Each structure stands twice: as C-alpha cells, then as structure tokens.
C-alpha cells in the first residue's frame, strides 16, 4: 500500500512544485494570505475534500476534510503559508503548505482501503499571531487523533521541544514639561521604561538558564527638551515550560509596576501577540515519522535540536499527539529568515524535499490508521504526558 502512496505522490509532485513556486513568487504576510489560501483550497477541492474557510475568525484559515465513511483514526496535516516582511518565504512556509496538502491528498487516495479520515488545516500567521492557538482553544482538534507538519531546514532533524512564550507590552503614561526650564513639573515615562530594562537585566541572574527575555522600546518621546509623557516597550518572555514561564512573567510584571512607582507614571500592560505553549513532541509518533522519512529517501536524520524559539504548534501538542520535525535541504549552514533560504525552496533540491516530506507524512498517517498497536502506543504516551501536567 505504501508503494501506492509513492505512486500518488509522483502523480501530483509537479503540481506541488508549481504551488510552492507560486507562493514563493507571491508572498503574503500573516492574516493576509488570501491568494495563498485560495491556491491551496482549490487544489484540495479538486481532490474531493470538503473545505470550510474563515474558521476561528481568521479569514485566511481553513479546514479541509476527506472522510472515507469507514471507522478509523483521523489524521491531520497542518499547512503554514505566511511570509516574512522584506524576506518573503525565508522560513519555507511555501514548502510547509505544499507538503501538508500533498500529504493530505495522497493519504486520501487509500482511505477507501484503510478507513479513517484525513484533515488538512490551513493555519495563518505562524510568524506573528499564530492561528493554531485559537484553533486549539476552540476545539478544532477535539475529533483529531494525531497532528503533523514538517518544516524545511538546513538538515533533517527529529521533532523536539520549543519554548513557551508570552508577548507583553508595557505602556507608561507620565506628564510633559519643559525638560530644562521646569523638569520638576514633569513625570518621565521613558525613565520607567529604562528602569524596566535595568531591572529585567538584573532578574536574568535569578532565573533558569532556559529563560529568554528580550525587548525593544517602540515609543520613547518626541523631543529631547520635552519630558516624555508616554513610553512603550515590548518584550518576549520565554521558558521551557508554561508553568515556569508563568512564574517568570509574574516577576517581570512586578518589576514593571515597580518601575512605574519609581517615577510616578501609570502603567498599562497587555499581550500584543498570542501566547505560545511549549512543544511536547509525541516520541512514538516522531519515531514513526523518522522511519518513514528514511523510507522516502532521506539518508541522515539528526537528533532533535535544542530550541530557544517558540511555535504555535506547541499549543496543538497540548491537546493532541503532535510532531514538528525538520526536513533537510542539504545545506547545514543555511540560516532561516533569509532570502538565501527562500531562494533554496524553489531549487531542484527544494522540489525533491517537497515530494519526500509529503510522502513521509502520508506514510506516517497510513501507519497511524493501519497499525493499531502503534496508534495505541501514541495515544498512551499522550495520556501519560497529560497526567504529568
């Protein structure tokens, strides 16, 4: 049956390459991926998927379903298709999208034999305000048994961890005054932001080594001779797990209040992007994908990398067994979020990787549906992880 999956991939691979190249040449930013979504949805429609767009109040999000009408697990493949400003598809989301829809269509061709259901989810804005977060909160994954995606990289590597992350904005309101003639009449909001930075720098000595806190000043005044009455800073606060991140965020917010008290400014705090949870890779599912990636032609899969980034797939992994592995473009020094990375996606190697990744995903989905013992192992690992939480 897996030979049939390979035959199906070969039948659609040129279409997948064309779609990936089109996304590369017509990049769209997060929540603006209207044409990108249309391209992917039309391909799924043409292969008998039932598609709903605009889910979770995101106009460019979609859910596409192919139901065999027979009992069996439901396998989901996730597609990202937002680009980066000034860089285009420097994170390879054009490849992620086409590998996801390619895997979904390929697996659907054997469901009459295996039973089960395949779902392809279009998940906008991963780079900024990831739609997987509201999807997880809204119960989109409640009827899904496993969720998978694969991300291009310099080399292939197993699915690993990511950091939980909160994006917090601190806005201080003070009072203007002439900075030389009557400084005593002013309340300097910028001083609060500076104290915030200084105190956070001191906090770094007293948190775990996996914590990352980094920020910028987005507003700090308009003229040197006017006491700034408004100043704003934005921070990402990250940690290996959500529970410890919550502790660190509490400390950071206490610091922010202290910085306001030092100057007499008032403080407003808000989350300027959605919060991401830490990634919990399902190791049984990950091992299954690795086996299939080798079977699809990969020659070297590295252990999971230590990651200090944050992904909205982490939120998915909290509610369903999930993986987020990497597939290599055979360039170990390749750096993501660069035009060099984007250009690599439309090369012959990029095209080969699209077909290989889609096939490995489809074969893993087939195993989940067909191999009951392996599916039970995946489910039990997830349930055990939930108990630990």
Q: Which residues does residue 67 pair with via DSSP β-bridges, in sequence order? A: 117
CB 237 within 8 A of CB 165: yes
The pLDDT of residue 389: 62
Q: Which residues have C-beta within 8 Å of that of residue 207, sequence separation ≥ 6?
A: 213, 239, 248, 251
- Positive or negative: CA dihedral 174, 252, 209, 304: negative
Rounded to 5°, the CA angle 328-330-334 comes to 85
Residue 76 near residue 107, CB atoms below 8 Å: no
Tokens of 242: 């959500």
* Model confidence pLDDT, tens digit, residues 200-227: 999 999 999 999 999 999 999 999 999 9
Please compute Rg for the chain using Cα positions: 23
Render the burial of 348-387: b for 16+ CB within 10 Å, e for the rest: eebbebbbbbbbbbbbbbbbbbbeeebbebbbebbeebee
38 phi, psi to nearest 5 deg: -60, -40
Report the pLDDT value the prediction gives residue 306, as an integer from 0 to 100.
76
φ and ψ of 76, to 5 deg: -115, 135
The CA-based angle 333-23-154, given to 5 degrees, is: 15
- What's the pLDDT at 309? 86
- All residues at 6 or more sequence positions from 92 whose CB lies less than 8 Å from its CB, including other chains: 151, 152, 153, 336, 341, 342, 345
Task: Specify the residue for token string 């055979």.
Answer: 330
Q: Name residues of the chain where pLDDT drops below 50.
A: none
What is the rounded distance in angstroms from the CA atom of residue 38 to the CA atom of residue 57? 17
Nearest partner of 345 among 325, 364, 327, judged by Cα: 327
Identify whether the C-beta of residue 157 lies closer than 8 Å to the C-beta of residue 302: yes
- Cβ atoms 286, 149 nearer than 8 A: no
- pLDDT, position 386: 84
- Strands 322-323 and 230-239: what pairing? unpaired
Q: Taking a C-beta distance cutoff of 8 angstroms, is the pair 114, 4 a contact?
A: no
Q: What does the pLDDT read at residue 308?
A: 78
């Amino acid at each position: 049956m897996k030979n049939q999956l390979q035959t199906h991939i070969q039948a659609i691979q040129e279409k997948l390459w064309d779609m990936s190249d089109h996304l590369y040449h017509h990049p769209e930013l997060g929540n603006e991926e209207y044409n990108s979504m249309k391209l992917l949805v039309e391909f799924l429609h043409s292969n008998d998927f039932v598609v709903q767009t605009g889910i979770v109040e995101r106009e460019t999000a979609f859910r596409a379903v192919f139901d065999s009408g027979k009992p069996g697990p439901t396998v989901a493949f996730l597609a990202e298709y937002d680009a980066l400003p000034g860089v285009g598809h420097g994170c390879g989301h054009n490849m992620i999208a086409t590998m996801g829809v390619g895997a979904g269509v390929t697996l659907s061709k054997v469901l009459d034999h295996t039973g089960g259901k395949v779902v392809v989810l279009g998940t906008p804005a991963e780079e900024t305000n990831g739609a997987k977060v509201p999807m997880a909160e809204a119960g989109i994954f409640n009827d899904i048994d496993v969720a998978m995606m694969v991300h291009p990289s310099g080399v292939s590597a197993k699915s690993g961890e990511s950091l939980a992350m909160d994006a917090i904005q601190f806005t201080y309101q003070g009072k203007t005054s002439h900075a030389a003639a009557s400084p005593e009449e002013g309340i300097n909001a910028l001083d609060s932001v500076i104290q915030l930075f200084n105190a956070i720098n001191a906090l770094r000595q007293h948190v775990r080594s996996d914590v990352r806190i980094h920020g910028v000043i987005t507003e700090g005044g308009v003229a040197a001779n006017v006491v700034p009455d408004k100043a704003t800073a934005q921070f990402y606060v990250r940690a290996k797990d959500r529970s410890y991140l919550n502790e660190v965020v509490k400390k950071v917010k206490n610091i922010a209040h202290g910085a306001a008290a030092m100057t007499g400014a008032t403080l407003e705090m808000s989350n300027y992007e959605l919060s991401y949870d830490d990634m919990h890779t399902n190791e049984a599912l990950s091992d299954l994908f690795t086996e299939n990636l080798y079977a699809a032609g990969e020659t070297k899969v590295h252990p999971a990398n230590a990651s200090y980034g944050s992904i909205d797939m982490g939120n998915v992994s909290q509610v369903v067994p999930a993986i987020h592995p990497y597939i290599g473009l055979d360039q170990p020094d390749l750096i993501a979020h660069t035009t060099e990375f984007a250009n690599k996606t439309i090369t012959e190697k990029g095209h080969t990787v699209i077909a290989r990744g889609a096939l490995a995903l489809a074969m893993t989905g087939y195993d989940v549906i067909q191999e009951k013992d392996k599916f039970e192992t995946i489910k039990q690992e997830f349930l055990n992880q939930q108990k630990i939480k």
